[in-house]
């Protein structure tokens, strides 16, 4: 009996342990966010800008996760960046991790030493933290290695611009070094290294030799306006040098000229004015300003616009204008083309060809009817008069 009592006590204790552990397991199962970097502890030189590559994901629930930082040293500038822009939150969903950067800029007067901070990701029902450690070392006096010199590190242009940076790369060591060239650019950019007009990925350097390179950065045409950073790395054996280029992309208008229903044909009558409704649409990423409306009609035709000029048309906006078209009095029946043009001050013009089918004026129809009527009346009077004889 004593043995059976002991077995019953052990069973009850086991059930209590399982019951007590069940809420903990359920709670752990709700913790779906994960937040990490492959290199959480890095070394850098005083004066460098350091970038940590971060990955954030979820195993269960799609959600927007807020980003934050704790224990940032006084005077330091630390920002999260995605696609070249400062970000405050990230959208994550299962099987689709989000990758972004943590960019850290210590102040110029920072001392060598070890510094720590914590990156924080706060989801719908969970907060995860990621400790970051950074060891700063003093600059080595008169280093013998590779060095970059950039004439203009920041350039401005539109999404169709090819940004060309003139760079001098020098091997300051006393040995011959083959140097590989690498670029880290935001999504939507293509980077090409050129030496004497030829594309390269590596180049040999003799002792204390300098070479002038051209770095071409081409954005995709759908890249939104903003400031984007391109990190350049030159590596040869144990030697390396880095530099940062900036592409400041301004918005660009893109006009489309059409009609409200997309139909580009209609009828017109000789000697009469016909109104055509046109739509000027800006599909670009910047306002279009001082848009002049004009037309290229056949000889003798007249075209007037209402309004004739559009002061400004914002991105993703449209405006309706009226073209008043009058064929020449000497025109004959048939088909004619009139080209309408909307030309902004600092962008490409938009054109549209409209086909007019010219008909005889209704006035001449009335005149013809009147002449026929006069003839009929005349014939009737003649019959009445001479028929009596």
- Which residues share a beta bridge with 276? 323
Q: Determine the pLDDT at residue 141.
A: 54
Structure tokens at 159: 């999404």
71-87 pLDDT per residue, tens: 999 999 999 998 878 99
Q: Determine the pLDDT at residue 22.
A: 33
35-71 pLDDT per residue, tens: 999 999 998 888 888 999 999 999 888 999 999 999 9
- Phi (first) and psi of residue 65, to 5 degrees: -110, 125
SS3 40: coil
Q: Determine the pLDDT at residue 12.
A: 44
* Cα–Cα dist 189/268, whole Å: 50
225-248 pLDDT per residue, tens: 889 999 999 999 889 999 999 999
Q: Determine the pLDDT at residue 376.
A: 64
Residue 168 predicted with pLDDT over 80: yes
Looking at every residue in the chain, the average pLDDT score rounds to 85
**Pair 33, 126: CB distance under 8 Å:** yes
Set out the domains of the chain in order of their start, with CATH numbers: 33-137 (2.60.40.2310), 146-249 (2.60.40.10), 255-364 (2.60.40.10)
């Amino acid at each position: 009996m004593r043995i059976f009592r002991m077995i019953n006590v052990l069973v009850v204790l086991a059930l209590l342990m399982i019951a007590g552990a069940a809420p903990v397991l359920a709670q752990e199962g709700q913790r779906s966010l994960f937040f990490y970097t492959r290199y959480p502890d890095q070394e850098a030189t005083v004066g460098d800008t350091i970038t940590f590559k971060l990955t954030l994901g979820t195993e269960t629930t799609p959600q927007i996760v807020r980003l934050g930082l704790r224990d940032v040293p006084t005077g330091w500038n630390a920002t999260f960046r995605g696609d070249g822009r400062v970000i405050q939150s990230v959208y994550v969903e299962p099987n689709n991790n989000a990758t972004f950067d943590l960019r850290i800029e210590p102040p110029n007067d920072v001392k060598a030493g070890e510094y720590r901070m914590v990156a924080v990701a706060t989801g719908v029902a969970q907060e995860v933290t990621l400790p970051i450690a950074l060891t700063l070392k003093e600059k080595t006096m008169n280093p013998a290695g590779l060095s970059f010199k950039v004439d203009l590190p920041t350039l401005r242009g539109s999404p169709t611009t090819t940004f060309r940076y003139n760079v001098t790369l020098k091997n300051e060591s006393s040995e011959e070094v083959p140097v590989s060239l690498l670029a880290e650019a935001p999504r939507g950019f293509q980077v090409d290294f050129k030496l004497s007009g030829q594309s390269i990925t590596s180049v040999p350097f003799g002792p204390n030799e300098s070479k002038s390179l051209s770095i071409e950065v081409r954005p995709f045409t759908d890249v939104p306006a903003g400031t984007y950073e391109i990190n350049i790395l030159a590596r040869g054996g144990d030697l390396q040098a880095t530099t940062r280029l900036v592409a400041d992309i301004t918005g660009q208008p893109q006009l489309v000229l059409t009609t409200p229903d997309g139909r580009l044909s209609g009828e017109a009558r000789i000697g009469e004015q016909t109104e055509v409704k046109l739509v000027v649409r800006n599909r670009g990423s910047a306002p279009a300003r001082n848009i002049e409306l004009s037309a290229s009609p056949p000889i003798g035709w007249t075209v007037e616009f209402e309004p004739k000029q559009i002061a400004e048309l914002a991105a993703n906006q449209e405006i309706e204008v009226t073209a008043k078209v009058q064929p020449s009095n000497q025109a004959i029946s048939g088909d004619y083309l009139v080209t309408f043009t909307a030309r902004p001050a600092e962008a490409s013009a938009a054109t549209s060809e409209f086909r007019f089918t010219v008909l005889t004026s209704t006035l001449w129809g009335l005149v013809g009817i009147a002449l026929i009527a006069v003839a009929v009346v005349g014939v009737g009077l003649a019959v009445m008069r001479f028929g009596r004889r």
